[in-house]
Chains A and B, each alone.
Chain A
Amino acid sequence: MNAALTRLLAKPWLWSFLGALVVFLASIAFTGGYGASGMVNAAFSLAVFTVIVGVGQMFVITLGPGNVDLSLPANIGLASAVAMKVMNGDDSLVALGILAALGCGLGIGVANYLLIWALRIPPIIATLSASFVIQSIDISYGRGLQIKPPPGFANFANAQVFGAPILAILVVLFTIAAAIVLQRTIYGRSVLAIGQNIRAARLAGVKVGRTRFLTYALCGVLGGLDGALLAGYFRGANVDIGNEYLLASIAVVVIGGTSVAGGKANVPGVWGAALFLVLLLTMLNTFGVSAGVRLVMTGLIIVLVITAAGGAKAER
């Protein structure tokens, strides 16, 4: 019994779920128990969007130090516009619209990798610069469009089954699949190997270039998916719809227990950290704090958590 408990406590993702629980309880205490189930439901609904891009970012960050995708917000913005434009308010075009958004995201991911590989630009700069170009494309493309989602799609994005949001259930399944891919496929092992020691990975026969390419492409695709779903959930697309997901995607990866030095990823932790962040925001809203205080608290808590977790060497 003791050994099992010790092993459970050693799991890094446990802390993010505990943090989410603590924040939830604090909110409930403030409201006197009112609206608890609604809060949980809303938390899962919202956390979904962070988890999707969080998983993508997790794969990128696991590739090793210096790997991060800063083009996600612009990606999400553009994909949401593309999805809405293709769907054109018509339910029969939903599948096509989603495909278009995925394709848009894939293109961005591929473009990111080309900058990194062909021009040897560090991923931070490559994705940051790409994000600016994507932003411009989005602004000019989305100008003056009537971008409302088809009603069926919007309803689906907001739908519940057995009291739980459909999207949340689907994304939980997706997360499980991602964990399996990470641990039990050649691709996943390659990512973990590259993140631990890129030179050793190459000498062990890992296809480094191909793996990096697939990872950035995957992250792009997930950004595209997120954009389409966000547009459906919030019943409209706009350029800034993805802005808060930059910090969020990186934060949930780090808070969830993935190592920023690469080579060690934690998939359940992404959910725990996403719930933690969403519930944190909810709690701050419940307390009635202003936008400014909300931002300060969010930032400080993230700094606090990463300080507690320590860096690469502090982990060993």
Chain B
Amino acid sequence: MTAPALAERPVSAEAGRLRLRRALRALLPAFSLVLVLAAIAYLNSRAISYFGFNLMLNLAIPIALATLAQMFVIAGNDLDLSIGTFVGFVGCVAATWLHDQPLLGVLILIGGVAAYAALGALVAWRDLPSIVVTLGMSFVWQGLAILLLPKPGGSAPHWLLSLMGVKPPFVPFPIVAAIVIAVVAHIGLMRSSYGAILRGSGGNAAAIGRAGWSLFKAKVTLFALAGFFGVLSGLALIGITTSADANIGNGYTLLSIAGVILGGGEFVGGRVSPIGAVIGALTLALAASPLLTFMRIPPDWQVAANGAILIIVLAARVLISQRGAER
């Protein structure tokens, strides 16, 4: 029997059309980023420079890391409403314990990841609704942060400041960091063999279980990864802001959810994209402040703009799906 080589295999017209629609949806995050960059360039051409990018994308790294943390949770059909306060907690630890007693600080951060893993275990074991559980945990992290730093203060460890202050030639550090983060996450979740199982647990958990995999282990892994990336996000944030306060991460919950969705992810079905999530985070970092400042939107309304962007992107996605679908 002679079968045509892999490359020459005919693709059915139906699968081809679907792939095109999927490609369009995959390009949407990149398209949004280009759109925002174009708007910025139009409003203030000097912003498009090494110095300009460094400044504007300053906060993109912690946002991207928090977005990836959220992405892992969403991949398992859950939602983490505590990531913002967790990032704030990590920041407070970084500015206090990590600076004064590094060993203890590291232990506390490891404990934070362990707490996330334990949360995953709880959710898997008792089939808990993640919205309520993470909403409760957000209060715990907030309280702990307040106990650490009742008033803003502390100072970041030197090594953290140096790391975040790196100035590579030609390409601004935030962009380099974003690429590295995206690639690592992509390889881990999309290319590795266990990553397929993790994503499968969101796509058809029953099938994964029937095939003999431990859904419990998958859930714990996803939450532990979220905790780990949350720690990285908090560290990166403090490396930039140099000092901390208990509320510093609170906006990151919505931003992380928005980043995942902007990046082409969906709430159910295990459909997420690490690269899309990072691009989405970059877009949000630009749109959340620099773009609005250049557009001279009053600060009162910048909060609204975050919500509006999310709505617009989701509406665009719906329109693309509807035009493609033969209803």
Contact = CB atoms under 8 A, between A and B. Distances in A.
Interface of A: 65-66, 68, 115, 119-122, 124-126, 128-133, 135-137, 139-140, 143, 246-247, 250-251, 254, 260-261, 290-300, 302-303, 306-307, 310-314
B303 A135 contact: yes
A310 B127 contact: yes
Contacts of B311: 115, 119, 121, 126, 129
Overall SS of chain A's interface: helix
Interface in B201-242: none
A132 B135 contact: no
A66 B303 CA distance: 24
Contact of B142 (A66, A130, A295, A313): A295
B146 interface: yes
Interface residues of B, number: 42
Interface string B272-296: 0000000000000000000000000
B79 A299 contact: no
A307 B132 contact: no
A108 to B, nearest CB: 13
With most chain B CB atoms within 10 A of its CB, the pick from A135, A251, A292, A313 is A292
Contact of A295 (B139, B310, B318): B139
A314 B261 CA distance: 30
A128 B257 contact: yes
A117 to B, nearest CB: 11
B93 interface: no
B126 A310 contact: yes
B267 A122 contact: yes
Given A292-B146, A294-B143, A313-B127, A306 B261 contact: no
Contact of A124 (B79, B141, B306): B79
B298 interface: yes
Nearest to A295: B143
A292 B306 CA distance: 29
Interface string B254-274: 100100010000010000000
Contacts of A303: 122, 133, 136-137, 140
A119 B135 contact: no
B129 interface: yes
B114 interface: no
B133 A136 contact: no
A129 B132 contact: no
B126 to A, nearest CB: 5
Contacts of A246: 135
A19 to B, nearest CB: 15
B300 A295 contact: no
A55 B261 CA distance: 30
B131 interface: yes
A228 B38 CA distance: 44
A307 B314 contact: no
Contacts of A295: 139-140, 142-143, 146
Interface string B107-136: 000000000000000100011110111011
A49 B135 CA distance: 20
A259 B305 CA distance: 34
Contacts of B139: 247, 295-296, 298-299, 302
A282 to B, nearest CB: 17
Contact of B140 (A126, A254, A296): A296
B301 interface: yes
Given A250-B135, A299-B139, A311 B308 contact: no
Contacts of A290: 146-147, 150
B243 interface: no
A300 B136 CA distance: 7
Contacts of A291: 143, 146, 150
A116 B261 CA distance: 15
B290 to A, nearest CB: 18
B307 A296 contact: no
Contacts of B302: 136
B138 interface: yes
A299 B140 contact: yes
Contacts of A294: 143
Given A260-B132, A302-B139, A303-B137, A139 B310 contact: no
Contact of B131 (A250, A296, A310): A250
B304 interface: yes
A293 B143 contact: yes
A126 B261 CA distance: 12
Nearest to A300: B140
A131 B307 contact: yes
A185 to B, nearest CB: 27
Contacts of B143: 291-299
A300 B304 CA distance: 32
Contact of A306 (B133, B140, B145): B133
B301 A311 contact: no
A132 to B, nearest CB: 3
B147 A125 contact: no
A132 B303 contact: yes
B144 interface: yes
B142 to A, nearest CB: 5
Contacts of A254: 129, 132
B5 interface: no
Contacts of B147: 290, 292-293, 296
A251 B138 CA distance: 13
A251 B304 contact: no
A120 B126 contact: no
B314 A143 contact: no
A26 B305 CA distance: 47
29 contacts: A119-B315, A121-B311, A124-B131, A125-B267, A125-B310, A125-B314, A126-B311, A129-B306, A129-B308, A133-B304, A136-B300, A139-B300, A247-B139, A250-B135, A261-B129, A290-B146, A295-B139, A295-B140, A296-B139, A296-B140, A296-B143, A296-B147, A300-B140, A302-B132, A303-B136, A306-B136, A312-B127, A312-B129, A313-B127
